[in-house]
Amino acid sequence: MGQGIADPAKLTIAGWSYGGYAALQAQAIDPALFKAVVAIAPVTDFADRMRRSQYYSNYLIEQQRMGTGTEAEEASPSSHAAQFRAPVLMFHGTADGNVDITQAKIMQGKLEGAGKRSRLVIYDGLAHGLNDSDARADMLQQSADFLLAAGK
């Protein structure tokens, strides 16, 4: 930003899947940096994700990668919802087999509980890729409107 490439007063962030997690976690790490966050199908609570993945063959790999206890809590954006400053817009499909929709619902609940500006858009029957042209067009339009409004 010091190079004049980005206007710090209008900086926003968006991401999908891991990118959605990263966008939310960026707000947890530096709440003043971004003015708005869009997260699509994000992981938001590692403890919840671990509870849900214990029945899958990759459970031990996931446990080693994500950690447990305080490491998982610290790395979970939902644990830091009270520190968020930027408004958040999330999108998630109800048939997501990669990241359960519960992740977005947990984050939405934590943000609402902390009195933060947040909205969760749910697409019934769609999987992780939101592979529906109408849903994609809707998501892109809502994201553009949200980010433009936040950058003003």
Q: Where are the domains of the chain?
A: 8-142
Q: Is the dihedral of CA 136, 137, 142, 145 positive or negative?
A: positive
pLDDT of residue 9: 86
Tens-place pLDDT, residues 13-28: 999 999 999 999 999 9
Mean pLDDT (the chain) is 86
Q: 41 in helix, strand or coil? A: coil
Query: What would the mean pLDDT of 134-148 be, rounded to a whole number?
Result: 96
Query: What would the mean pLDDT of 52-63 be, rounded to a whole number?
Result: 52
pLDDT of residue 59: 47
Residue 152: is its pLDDT beyond 80? no
pTM for the full model? Answer: 0.85
CA distances from 109 to 14, 32, 81 (A): 20, 22, 9
Residue 61: is its pLDDT beyond 60? no
* pLDDT tier, 96 (very low <50, low <70, confident <90, very high otherwise): very high
Residue 115: is its pLDDT beyond 60? yes
How far is it, in rounded angstroms, from Cα 25 to Cα 45? Answer: 11
Residue 127: is its pLDDT beyond 80? yes
* pLDDT tier, 45 (very low <50, low <70, confident <90, very high otherwise): confident
- Domain covering 8-142 assigned CATH 3.40.1260.10 in the classification: no
- Residue among 132, 30, 31, 35 nearest 91 (CA): 132
pLDDT of residue 39: 98
Residue 2: is its pLDDT beyond 80? no
